[in-house]
Structure 1
Amino acid sequence: MADWIEKLPEAAREFLNGKRLDEVECVVSDLPGIARGKAVPASKFARQEYFHLPDSIFYQTITGEWADAAGDEGFIEKDMILKPDMSTASAAPWTGDTTIQVIHDAYDRKGNPVPCSPRNVLKRVVQLYKDQGWQPVVAPEMEFYLVARNIDPAKGIEPMMGRSGRPAAARQAYSMTAVDEFGPVIDHIYDFAEDQGFEIDGITQEGGAGQLEINLRHGDPVKLADEVFYFKRLIREAALRHDCFATFMAKPIADEPGSAMHIHHSVIDIETGKNIFSGPAGGETDAFFHFIAGLQNHLPAAIAVLAPYVNSYRRYVPDHAAPINLEWGRDNRTTGIRVPLSGPDSRRIENRLAGMDCNPYLGIAASLACGYLGLMEEKRPDKQFKGDAYEGEEDIPRVMGEALDLFEESAALAQVLGPEFARVYAIVKRAEYNEFLQVISPWEREHLLLNV
């Protein structure tokens, strides 16, 4: 066992220093981004090269039901071969014993990547960039709420109780006092992140009651998606230590801002190491504008991936820190596509549409896919929007059904993400949407029961 432990990433080795490793969690992301897998004794993991899980984990809805997406062979639950990516080995510091997690990649019996595995979808898109001599770079921002424990789905979600003994107050964006209210939870987030070797670029109070944002350093898309995947679990575990919940719902509390996963993009020429969005004199290149056009032209079809649940569409409302259209602008947070202030080397384009409820692998893959299509099509974007984009026309799907229609109609997006993934994803999401439509809401009972 000592040999493979010595080859672990530095943070994992430091975590294990002087300890006896008890268990290894072998995990893979399903479509919603839930960690699926097995926990095995460390001694067994040292002897195994792979393990099996049925491919049906990618046909399951968020409620645990099964969508009819198995294909021509039928629902036979074929075993996938899950192989560890040891570069992802990371501490699980909240467990009772000494445990590490390892993300696995999914292959079929012939050794081909399983096309429905979210990590494989992102790897596919990144490879398309590399085939053109480009290295995509992303920086995700994670927004989430710390809320009071909620074990009754019929009860509204409420902000957590702060350190002062008062519920977290809204509209205190960037307040250090507000951040201090959650100090004990944030301390645990920092401690867990350090154990896992993650570098946090900063934590800020956002505009909602109990809403925080964590920024991550820019880097490789797969590595950053791995970190967001791990971070969601890390943050939930830190919150539970302090009798509260962390939620990544896109819109958990009515009349409060939603939670986004803003994605910053740049693209590096592999041969020269230069940002292709900036020319020799530092100006904006054709590639810069083509990427923006790709986002404008293809994001409508990708919304079903960036906003994967019915709740996601409650976030797209005017004046609540979320976009309502696909306008682009420089240093303008009302637009769906924003160009932040930056120098030529760090010129980047921010997609503000993705919700924090999206699977990080799929959200980043879909966003990069739109930009890739723009680079291939070489079209120009609409004229830059100046002013308040909330005064512009809404052009984002407002319901899940409409977004799925656009997703299913886009042959171009399906080709980049993978036709088999696109087929399965649409079926699973249709099944979820149909499940939701069978639920009678409190609003319907209150206003329709005796009035219609």
Structure 2
Amino acid sequence: MSDEWISRLPEAAQRYLEGRRLDEVECIISDLPGIARGKAVPASKFARLKHFHLPDSIFFQTITGDWGEAAGEEGFIERDMILRPDMSTATAAPWTGDWTLQVIHDAFDRKDRPVSCAPRNILRRVCDLYKAQGWKPVVAPEMEFFLIARNLDPAKDIEPMTGRSGRPAAARQAYSMTAVDEFGPVIDDIYDFAEAQGFEIDGITQEGGAGQLEINLRHGDPVRLADEVFFFKRLIREAALRHNCFATFMAKPIADEPGSAMHIHHSVLDLETGQNLFSGPQGGETDAFYHFIGGLQKHMPAAIAVLAPYVNSYRRYVRDHAAPINLEWGRDNRTTGIRIPLSDTQSRRVENRLAGMDCNPYLGIAASLACGYLGMMQEVRPSKQFRGDAYEGEGDIPRVLGQALDMFDAAKDLHDILGPEFARVYSIVKRSEYEEFLQVISPWEREHLLLNV
């Protein structure tokens, strides 16, 4: 591979390869669940490639590896997509045994049109709608996850990992530095991997669950931040495996413990001036600010199927368990689904606390931005600010996946933003997963129904 090719890589990738010979390039793309699909090719071959192919059927695949009947009128012919590298995403895979880069690719059809079901294309589509209005969306995701003991038997309950003290991680130690120190070797590798990949971590904290951590990322461009979350999920899993434990991004992995969210902070800037549209000339809250909140309140129930994509996702929405149960909004109030954090006027932002960490980051951010966009375009007024404990109110979000999918299917405004073809395929794939789940008999059913009904 020529030095000239290497010289066009991002700075962090160049540092990683300095004085070394690149062996392999992983050409990857996100499927609907957010799993990295693609091919690994020798570096010398990648240098000669302008694109490669994968079948469009990767977007019809369920989380179990089965297939939804979403191929359309032509049938399941597995038409090839053209995948082109976005070299700005080239980054190290520092856990591999040789010198390897990962590169995210964008998907196009044979007429050079963006593939409508590719999650990265969907997020870019939403961002382009903002751009057409002279707006620039800015997001900052927060990633919550659990470090757990190795679990090789699906019938066995998930348990927290054993920390360096030799004791299982304890719950109810939110923000404890001692608790963070328990996972020190794993966290050290997370930091090292992130540095090698050129990612900036804004902070790591212990959350309220046993073995639960949160990583905050710096705010920025939605596509770039979704790329980072996509990369981070793999990075964190690899760091955990080095220390004989697992990292899980399930929304609710352990009963009676808090769930894991991907809180999304949003602001919108004027493309020409760079000013935050949520703050007026005198620093006051603007109509755009209220309309964005109103859009989340009006359209989020239909978007929950994207933000909470699995049956397990709805176990997270439990009263008094650090997850919202409604769409109230409030200032500096973590019991509401929509929170306005403390900030100066230029940093004024709206936090969506509904999204689970199990959602695809491209789709979750796209759906959240789509709701806010609709609110701004339709000039939706929010409800009155909520004061007090929002857990005392009634829930106003879907409680099961089937109900959420029914609401998603009826949300034509949301389909127009995310793309009608994506909405069609997504619903079919998720219903296939849901139907598969309904065929499984749970331990609860065997325990309470077997001899009692």
For this structure pair, what is the TM-score category when the shorter chain's length is used for normalisation? over 0.9
Query: 2:182 is matched with which residue?
Result: 181
Shift of the alpha carbon at 1:35? 0.1
Query: 2:167 is matched with which residue?
Result: 166
Shift of the alpha carbon at 1:437? 0.3
Q: Distance in 2 between matches of 1:175 and 1:267?
A: 34
Residues 183-222 of structure 1: pairs in structure 2 closer than 5 A: 183-222=184-223
Amino acid of the residue matched to residue 380 of structure 1?
Answer: R
Query: 1:338 is matched with which residue?
Result: 339
Is 1:428 aligned to residue 443 of structure 2?
no
Amino acid of the residue matched to residue 364 of structure 2?
Answer: G
Q: Distance in 2 between matches of 1:19 and 1:276?
A: 46
Residues 79-158 of structure 1: pairs in structure 2 closer than 5 A: 79-158=80-159
Query: 2:28 is matched with which residue?
Result: 27
Residues 308-319 of structure 1: pairs in structure 2 closer than 5 A: 308-319=309-320
Query: 1:260 is matched with which residue?
Result: 261
Query: 1:67 is matched with which residue?
Result: 68
Query: 1:409 is matched with which residue?
Result: 410
| CA offset digits 1:381-433 (Å, max 9, x no partner) | 00000000000111111100000000000000000000000000000000000
Q: Distance in 2 between matches of 1:388 and 1:9?
A: 46
Return the TM-score normalized by structure 2: 1.00
Q: Distance in 2 between matches of 1:444 and 1:229?
A: 36
Query: 1:439 is matched with which residue?
Result: 440
Shift of the alpha carbon at 1:272? 1.2
| CA offset digits 1:220-259 (Å, max 9, x no partner) | 0000000000000000000000000000000000000000
The CA RMSD measured in Å over matched residues stands at 0.3
Amino acid of the residue matched to residue 316 of structure 2?
Answer: R
- 3-state SS, counterpart of residue 376 of structure 2: helix
Amino acid of the residue matched to residue 216 of structure 1?
Answer: L
Residues 217-232 of structure 1: pairs in structure 2 closer than 5 A: 217-232=218-233
- 3-state SS, counterpart of residue 140 of structure 1: strand
Shift of the alpha carbon at 1:48? 0.4
Runs of 4+ in 1 over 6 A off after TM superposition: none
Shift of the alpha carbon at 1:123? 0.2
Query: 1:293 is matched with which residue?
Result: 294
| CA offset digits 1:257-284 (Å, max 9, x no partner) | 0000000000000011100000000000
| CA offset digits 1:302-343 (Å, max 9, x no partner) | 000000000000000011000000000000000000000001
Amino acid of the residue matched to residue 202 of structure 1?
Answer: G
Q: Distance in 1 between matches of 2:247 and 2:404?
A: 27
Q: Distance in 1 between matches of 2:321 and 2:19?
A: 49
Count of residue pairs brought into register by the alignment? 452
Query: 1:58 is matched with which residue?
Result: 59
For structure 2, which runs of at least 5 residues remain unmatched after alignment? Answer: none
Query: 1:243 is matched with which residue?
Result: 244
Q: Distance in 1 between matches of 2:343 and 2:448?
A: 51
Shift of the alpha carbon at 1:285? 0.2
Amino acid of the residue matched to residue 263 of structure 1?
Answer: I
| Matched-pair identity in % | 82
Q: Distance in 1 between matches of 2:135 and 2:95?
A: 39
Amino acid of the residue matched to residue 392 of structure 1?
Answer: G
Shift of the alpha carbon at 1:4? 1.3
Is 1:419 aligned to residue 420 of structure 2?
yes
Shift of the alpha carbon at 1:102? 0.1
Shift of the alpha carbon at 1:434? 0.3
Residues 349-428 of structure 1: pairs in structure 2 closer than 5 A: 349-428=350-429
Return the TM-score normalized by structure 1: 1.00
| CA offset digits 1:87-108 (Å, max 9, x no partner) | 0000000001100000000000
For structure 1, which runs of at least 5 residues remain unmatched after alignment? Answer: none
- 3-state SS, counterpart of residue 164 of structure 2: coil
Amino acid of the residue matched to residue 47 of structure 2?
Answer: A
Amino acid of the residue matched to residue 101 of structure 1?
Answer: Q
Query: 1:44 is matched with which residue?
Result: 45
- 3-state SS, counterpart of residue 234 of structure 2: helix
Q: Distance in 1 between matches of 2:297 and 2:211?
A: 32
Shift of the alpha carbon at 1:3? 1.5
Shift of the alpha carbon at 1:379? 1.7
